[in-house]
Amino acid sequence: MLKRMNKIMDPTRFQGTKNKEYFEGWYFKLVSKDRKTVMAIIPGISKGENEECSFIQVFISNDDKNYYIKYETEDFSYKEGPFNVQIKNNFFQKDKIEIDIDEKELKAKGSLRFKNLREYPSNLVRPNIMGPYSFAPFMECSHAVVSMIHTIEGKLEINGEVLDFNEGTGYIEKDWGTSFPSEWIWMQSNSFKRKDAAFMLSVAKIPWLTGEFVGLIGFFSIKDSNLLFSTYNKNTIKNLKYENNILSLDVIDKDYTIKIEAKNKGGTPLKAPQKGGMERTIKESLDSEIKIRVIGNKEGLLYEDIGFCAGLEISPNYYILGDID
């Protein structure tokens, strides 16, 4: 019981399960100082009907190819306590990663350190972004934000090219469970004009008991000020539409409205979990743009900015998510 509570209160650490169908993965997003290079590294483990493996998935904004490197399950190990995972010669923690991949299609080596991590604000009833749903043991997919924004130190060499991430900007989140939602929207950026601004939003179709509901989680953070929005906080979504590669929606709070326009610039096909196995294909962009306006119900326009180097995923049937009432 104590071990389970420790995992609930720190969902960034390895959760694990004895279930036959299971996945768990961490998402490291890396943006160079000049914002010309955006990269994502996703280490994880997968237990599906057809295959069990650990993996590292890598993709870069200026390279349309997704590198999906499979390893044996035995190559995956972790330490009890704070997030600390190893996959063969690769090491992952919330404040650093060390990469050493030597495969035919991908040769990658280097180490990065993460400084000044702004972790998601938590308390006893809100261990992380899932809020009270963190305590539900039967979620199809759980989510955690490890770091909303941080500074990067270090370089990586990818297939002979040195990528300099010194003074760049990073973001870390994770997912675990059996499958990604059947339909969802996800977007994230911490590359705004204000260097201390960070944003993430996810809307998804969530199975629940004998039915389902549309769930919203997200945040807009500037320095020490955090707007945290979710369905469990009774926030709603209105005016969802997707036209001419621009996804627009409004997040409604009792005190403010966040108007969002995300410009989709395409995407790279990635592997995603379905019943534990990495057998589904999704598309994610790393170079989209997100325009945000925060409007106070009494004060009027409070903040306006554009987030570049944005991650964006829109499932084919996004429209069934509709407005959240």
pLDDT digits (tens, 9 = 90+) for 251-277: 999 999 999 999 999 889 999 999 999
Per-residue pLDDT at 321: 77
Res. 1 pLDDT band, cuts 50 70 90: low
Average pLDDT over residues 232-255: 95
> Tens digit of pLDDT for each residue in 165-191?
999 999 999 999 999 999 999 999 999
Which amino acid, residue 307? G
From CA 272, how far away is CA 281, in angstroms rounded? Answer: 6
From CA 29, how far away is CA 166, in angstroms rounded? Answer: 14
Average pLDDT over residues 14-36: 95
Which amino acid, residue 5? M
Per-residue pLDDT at 306: 98
More confident residue, 127 or 92: 92
* Residues paired with residue 247 on neighbouring β-strands, in sequence order: 242, 262
Per-residue pLDDT at 184: 93
Per-residue pLDDT at 251: 97
Per-residue pLDDT at 316: 84
Average pLDDT over residues 212-232: 94
Dihedral over alpha carbons 156, 158, 164, 166 (to 10 degrees) = -30
Give CA separation, 199 vs 39, 147, 171, 229, in Å.
17, 11, 10, 11
Res. 138 pLDDT band, cuts 50 70 90: confident
- Mean pLDDT for the chain overall: 94
Residue 158 pLDDT > 90, yes or no? Answer: yes
> Tens digit of pLDDT for each residue in 189-211?
999 999 999 999 999 999 888 78
Report the share of the chain in percent with pLDDT over 70. 98
More confident residue, 5 or 198: 198
Residue 3 pLDDT > 80, yes or no? Answer: no
Per-residue pLDDT at 70: 97
Residue 8 pLDDT > 60, yes or no? Answer: yes
